[in-house]
């Protein structure tokens, strides 16, 4: 049962990676929220896991944290780009007002 649920979660992770690759941060945010909700549902109340389930959970966790880190880095990069663009716009506006 857990293997099937983890397989479904892995599919959601793949979709999330694809959205990230396409730079669709709005889609990433929505997909990440759904994945978070589904992960909480799957693991809510789970206490006794077999060794193979633990290994599968660890692999999923590793993939999940990797995708999470990639999303955070992409958001930081986007914020930096936006900040640079706004700074350039302000400089241009000052230059235009001096003319």
Query: What CA–CA distances, in Å, run from 8 to 1, 49, 71, 98?
Result: 11, 18, 20, 59
pLDDT(91) > 80: no
Q: Which of 60, 59, 58, 53 is nearest to 12 (CA)?
A: 60
**Domain range summary for the chain, segments of one domain joined by +:** 2-71
The pTM for the full model equals 0.73
pLDDT one-digit tens code per residue, 42-69: 888 766 778 888 888 899 999 999 999 9
pLDDT one-digit tens code per residue, 12-47: 999 999 998 998 888 998 999 999 999 998 888 766
Residue with tokens 């994945």: 35
């Amino acid at each position: 049962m857990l293997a099937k649920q983890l397989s479904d979660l892995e599919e959601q992770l793949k979709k999330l990676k694809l959205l990230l690759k396409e730079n669709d941060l709005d889609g990433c945010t929505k997909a990440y929220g759904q994945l978070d909700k589904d992960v909480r549902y799957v693991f809510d109340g789970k206490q006794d896991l077999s060794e193979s389930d633990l290994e599968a959970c660890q692999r999923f966790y590793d993939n999940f944290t990797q995708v999470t880190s990639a999303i955070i880095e992409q958001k930081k990069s986007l914020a930096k780009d936006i900040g640079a663009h706004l700074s350039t716009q302000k400089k241009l506006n000052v230059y235009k007002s001096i003319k």
